[in-house]
Amino acid sequence: MTQTDPLIPIPSGEIPATPVFRAPWEAYAFALAVQLSEQGIFDWPEWTQALAAEIRDAGEDDHGSQYYHYWLTALEKLLTKQGIISEEVLQERKTAWREAYLRTPHGKPVEL
């Protein structure tokens, strides 16, 4: 792995030299996938297949910079496939968050 890889193995008890996540939302997406798997919404092999499909579909031009975007897309697809959320509700929520983000002053927390 290189210093820019999104997931750098961290030896026990050591602080990584570079951030494991580039932004807080990446850590949240990671934790959400782990928690949903632990709750039995999907199993980890199903998750890895979904994520691998998103990465594969991205093509050869991507060098890992969009890794957590693929992670999030895979998560959204699994949740709609499992019937946890409908595509319509998912799109409504994404639109609401985007609108909230656009009206939030810089440096302030985004609230729906």
The predicted-structure confidence for 1-59, as pLDDT tens digits, reads as follows 344 444 545 555 666 667 778 888 899 999 999 999 999 999 999 999 999 999 888 87
Q: Token pair of 43, please?
A: 């199993």
pLDDT at 1: 39
Candidate from 15-24, 66-75, 102-111 with smallest mean pLDDT: 15-24
pLDDT at 3: 42
Instruction: Enumerate residues 6+ apart whose C-beta is below 8 A from 26.
Output: 6, 68, 71
User: What are the extents of the domains in the chain?
Assistant: 24-103
pLDDT at 16: 60
C-alpha–C-alpha distance, residues 93 and 102, integer Å:
14
Neighbouring C-beta atoms of residue 96, cutoff 10 Å: 11
